[in-house]
Structure 1
């Protein structure tokens, strides 16, 4: 069985993998998107399906006001004592001298069960991880942030014992590792094998300089000896590798004793002729994804089987292949009264006063709230881009009476970078379709005065976006049959980590349904369905 990378496409970074019997689970970061944390399930390490979003209550996570790319960083999933343990950060400040964060622990009997309310652990730094030692004792490790002027921001990796009976950390924290020459030491995970404790970390920053490194010690508290073959994985020395940004990851062992390493990666868009002149490696609108590599052990050191650069295709484990339902074409209707797991909202759950699946049965109703630039209450429901080529489509009913009211289809990176094709209102034309763009917080309306009037006898407006690698464009229809493209072609690269003006952002492009009403009247929009289709280009070729 061969495995093609990445195994989790689209924005799925910072993977933490664990095995329970014959089942494998990966937890990934979600940042400002709610519910927090995605947990994927597999039987064979090749086929994965989104199984749970465990951080799904305000009592577990309230990100109202969190900055772009704040929120849930680097969750860590483990299984011990008959239950799952999930550690996660809620980062409140992302830029500047400080990184204000809160680290929590929740537990659950099953991934899709109701997970516990959180135990607060510490706030000394992000990327916390829980290690279960052979004697039953548990230890938290995380990086320590140093805000002092003139000091390196990454102070080291700290270890402290956790007492689950008391529900708190005990004893004194101990710095066990100061990192390597790559610096920016984060994402610590501890493992134990053949009498050694292994400390896996990510270093170099989570962009094109990213690496993973490994160190070991005969004692839990160190000193830790770094591997002579570090880095464990990187693509900094391999600019033509299709899997860039390789780093931050975790290990898993199969029942047969095979070892694998899952890690984040980014796939840049193929460079255009103009971009080939730029001094960068490109743009990744799909965000940071998850890939997998085979691991071999030599002289009690783990190594990536194909060398320290990731491989696009690897030999899978000695396990039967178990395909899961993961269609590349999916039409979601709303008769079931609940949203699929792949749909998320920004920062908070949307209550019945904002999102309803019952007020207009069979439809998703969004009551207009704040604008797409708000970090508090947006009525926006979206899913990740998972491919370089796809089409998304919806049908809505919306009757605005003010230019402050708008609803439609939105492609979004963060509050400063998005585009929106919306039904809104114009003083002389009445209902119209208009296009709005936000480019590093510079706003434009590409249609100018050529807005599209909606005929008075039309109740439903169909909106579509077509993404074709480097560019995307919006279309509309009044009958679902005859489609018309808007005269604006938009660049995909502007919805990427690598484009945002002030840097330091970690998500990916989303597409979804939105309604805003900055008049405060909460005017509703009703959406009949949402179609996400990666097969449309293949069908056209046939």
Structure 2
């Protein structure tokens, strides 16, 4: 019986899920996306119908695989590539140590696993010539490693093209000459290479134009893997750069997959700016487009042209929905719930415990919010324009340098933090610490004229709402039935790639979660007994 294709609504991976790489194994589809400075590294989602997805795993979990302490904001894991060959999953990724100025310190690694959920191997170091690595398995058994080439020299274009070099899986190293096989188009900033083979042609899909509003996915092909590569007649397969009114913007960086029935789909990066604003609070997300191969051997969107569609026709596959994520976690299990991540460090036992006080997430106060090394910040992605999140914390500060509470966070220069802390005269108080885009200083603003006095002991419930670009905080203590507003109305779009970024770009997305800081070094604990998140739709 033929399945009735279901329409797929974009984005398929909402919230901060950029740079998608897609892989099919039998009836299962997997997408790997960048996680930047958030740990564990690389998000892998799973689907059986290309429309319904669930977060499945994050493979980079150990210090041997990834240590990002000291990595600046928007560094860390860039553009993973997930493939399957020889009965094994292959994952290549970049750990970027610097991205501002003329230099990019970008180290590329490879890990493998017999199953998608692991165990994943220790990494093999591959090279550092540029970021966005990709691994292509040719039908003759040879393997080829690709990445963009970075050129720091003054007077030269920093994106020098796409490098190709053979990879020896036995020696676990590159071999033979490295070649620049594709310089890109006049759009420039050529990156994110993926190779495919079809009907005797090698097809090279790249991203161009930067990851903002001039982004595009460019296609070229050659009879030999080393080129020369000829451009697609339209140059680009998908882009929003000519369609400023399309709700999908920043369309580019992508990867192709063929279904078991021979249909072709393109997954690609996208952003959803607020109407009338060029600020994407959810950061860079993942969309999907149905494609067709023309009689001329070139790939195009099934709808014609290169404009991304908000709704596309699904494949000829049975619908396969997954259980929805719960809207509340009570921290009753031994492990941190999968939606939550923390920043940079591979040693989470120094940040939190789920066993020291059962039924609670205990955060140990570490460095101040914004540290590049060790923050006790555990958070989940914002995935909706309008949402509310809440928690309840028990915290007994003994120093003005200690604070714990609910945080809406983008990066060290962009956050709003509702916190229990200590005041010399008032005792335990509730305050707000905000940094609405102060680059490069990261100086705090004090939106409250006076902190709110709290009882000497007891839990404090906290809530944040984001509605129509307005971010508001609320609190409740024992004896109060209703939520109490605290602080001004903040601009929620501050928590976006495009705001407060200074001279260099940011590439992540908004998070909401729990934070504990202790500048005294004592590691004062804060106990959170639940965390809830729900959208307003």
Matches within 5 A, 1:48-87: 48-87=53-92
Root-mean-square deviation over aligned CA pairs: 1.0
- For residue 413 of structure 2, the aligned residue among 411, 416, 426 is 416
The separation in 1 between residues aligned to 2:422 and 2:283, in whole angstroms, is 34
Equivalent in the alignment of 1:340: 337
Partner of 2:445: 444
Name the counterpart of 2:430: 433
| Residues 235, 243 of structure 1: 8 Å contact kept | yes
Instruction: Tell me which moved more, 189-198 or 471-480.
Output: 471-480
- 1:373-417 Cα deviation digits (max 9, x unpaired): 210010010011000011111011100011100000011111111
Runs of 4+ in structure 1 off by over 3 angstroms are: none
* Equivalent position of 2:125 in the other structure: 120
1:366 alignment counterpart? 363
1:278 corresponding residue in structure 2: none
Superimposed CA distance per residue, residues 34-75 of structure 1 (whole angstroms, 9 cap, x where no aligned partner):
000000000000000000100111110110000110000000
Structure 1 residues 390, 350: closer, same or farther in 2, change over 3 A?
A: farther
Q: Which residue of 2 aligns with 1:146?
A: 151
- 3-state secondary structure, aligned to 2:8: strand
TM superposition shift of 1:354: 2.6
**Distance (whole Å) between structure 1 residues aligned to residue 221 and residue 494 of structure 2:** 41
What is the Cα deviation at residue 201 of structure 1?
A: 0.2
Matched, 1:391 2:388: yes
TM-score (norm 2): 0.96
Instruction: Establish whether residue 290 from structure 1 lines up as the match of residue 291 from structure 2.
Output: no
8 Å contact from structure 1 (residues 27, 77) kept in 2: yes
- In the alignment, what sits opposite 1:277? none
Q: Structure 2: which 5+ residue stretches go unaligned?
A: 1-5
Mapping 1:314-353, distance limit 5 Å: 314-327=312-325, 329-353=326-350
Aligned pair partner of 1:198 in 195, 203, 211: 203
Q: 1:91 offset after TM fit, Å?
A: 0.3
Comparing 350-359 with 50-59, greater Cα deviation is found at 350-359
Per-residue Cα deviation, 1:408-438 (whole angstroms, up to 9, x for no partner) = 0011111111110000011111111100101
1:105 aligns with 2:102: no
Matched, 1:214 2:219: yes
Matches within 5 A, 1:120-199: 120-199=125-204
Measured in 1, the distance between the counterparts of 2:415 and 2:242 equals: 33
Separation in 1, partners of 2:487, 2:96: 40
> In the TM superposition, what are the counterparts of 1:440-519 in structure 2 within 5 Å?
440=438, 441-449=442-450, 451-456=451-456, 458-479=457-478, 481-502=481-502, 503-519=504-520
Separation of aligned partners in 1, 2:60 and 2:401:
33
1:315 Cα deviation after fit: 0.5
Q: Note the C-alpha offset of 1:487.
A: 3.1
How many residues were matched structurally?
524
CA offsets 1:311-353 (integer angstroms, 9 cap, x no match)? 00010000010001133x5211111111112111111134333
For 1:533 and 1:429, the matched residues in 2 are separated by 34
| Equivalent-residue separation in structure 2 for 1:351 and 1:304 (angstroms) | 44
State whether residues 85 and 137 of structure 2, in contact with CA within 8 Å, keep that contact through their aligned partners in structure 1: yes
Find the aligned partners of 1:391 and 1:350 in 2 and give their Cα distance.
Answer: 30
For 2:255 and 2:212, the matched residues in 1 are separated by 18
In the superposition, the TM-score normalised over structure 1's length comes to 0.95
Does the Cα contact within 8 Å between 1:337 and 1:362 map onto a contact in 2?
Answer: no
Q: CA deviation at 1:282?
A: 1.2
1:378: which partner in 2?
375
Q: Distance in 2 between matches of 1:291 and 1:353?
A: 36
1:485 shift after superposition: 1.0
C-alpha displacement of 1:233: 0.8
